[in-house]
Structure 1
């Protein structure tokens, strides 16, 4: 299902670890690996704390996506967040990423397909960018449950080039739908 005006706002990558990722004209997604040239590229986990736990676990965090609407929400609170600053590879607009089900697929541009694996858990590295940013990326739902707003993680099912301006098509998974949890 194509969300009206769902687009890629920016694409980013960084070869070394660290929160912010510089914007690029194009990123290349590689099936089962992630973003070519990014620190989190690979079939097994690359997140440093997870590597210490078990370096052989599958990489469910190959691609990080954040919705530009989060930037819009943070701006009146005094946070100047731009695409790539919070470590995302793909900044989107027009897709309610946090409402997707586990297993939802996103067609990015003409070739690439990613499958959503779960939520990104905001971490203290965000406070190094701007004090209080981590707390601003956490909220509470109607029943008091935590709401993690720092985007979603995905794996690459089909590779391809992705650029700012590319359309996004959302394909929900088959029933039953499973809500997103942190990965």
Structure 2
């Protein structure tokens, strides 16, 4: 398991964002050399967990619980075959393109050690948005991406440090529940009766998903998932 690339985005004017200045950092490209990774601060204030990576729309992106976004190269390859066009590392706006990791099958709260210093913790899947669809230039992209159910993973920074392409990735902690990124994504997008199952992940879950799961369970009861 390793990092194939570390990808950073620069602010770029695009026609497909709701951000007031019309800028987006979704167009991320692989970079050479080490990149500093650290917790960026709370959502709405903090941006990316990677130094030099732009997050222009901080109402919905960035912050401690979405500090880093990872996508498996294997998933990009599958989309290449479906779309009939090449997808470079970083094509989904991901910070980390991995090899040998079932990213969407990872557990909420799972921790990855990367290189010699960095430890990251899985928090949730990525919810597709209008900016992502505009960046991809594919008709009905949000629905297609959601239907596939392999969203990649957001991670928070547990231990800061430097990473670079080629670094090994190790799973240093795997929690005892069965709440995967794919299950969390399905629960908050298309199958809301699954929301009570997310509670097993506890505080490791992205706070917004955790609040949603608690509200649903209080209203309908845990039996809604049965």
TM range (shorter): 0.7 to 0.9
SS at match of 1:86: coil
Partners of 1:23 and 1:58 lie apart in 2 by 21
- Equivalent residue number for residue 50 of structure 2: 35
> Aligned-pair distance for 1:32?
5.5
**Equivalent position to 1:131, from 128, 134, 138:** 138
Gap runs ≥5 in structure 1: 1-5, 41-45, 52-56, 141-146
- Equivalent residue number for residue 3 of structure 2: 8
SS at match of 1:50: coil
Q: 1:37-52 alignment to 2 at 5 Å?
A: 37-40=52-55, 47-50=57-60
TM-score between both structures, scaled by the size of structure 1: 0.76
Q: 1:13-32 alignment to 2 at 5 Å?
A: 13-16=8-11, 17-25=24-32, 26-31=34-39
- Equivalent residue number for residue 72 of structure 1: 77
Q: 1:59-138 alignment to 2 at 5 Å?
A: 59-77=64-82, 78-128=84-134, 129-132=136-139, 133-138=141-146
- Equivalent residue number for residue 163 of structure 1: 164
Contact 1:100 1:172 in 2 (8 A): no
* Structure with bigger gyration radius: 2
- Equivalent residue number for residue 46 of structure 2: none
Contact 1:8 1:92 in 2 (8 A): yes
SS at match of 1:116: strand
TM-score between both structures, scaled by the size of structure 2: 0.63
What count of residue pairs does the alignment treat as equivalent? 161
Contact 1:28 1:159 in 2 (8 A): yes
Distance 1:73 1:178, change over 3 A: same
> Aligned-pair distance for 1:134?
3.6
> Aligned-pair distance for 1:79?
3.4
C-alpha RMSD of the superposition: 2.4
> Aligned-pair distance for 1:170?
1.3
Gap runs ≥5 in structure 2: 12-23, 42-48, 186-205, 207-226
Give the strand-richer structure, 1 or 2.
Answer: 1
Which one scores higher on RCO, CA 8 angstroms, separation ≥ 6? 1
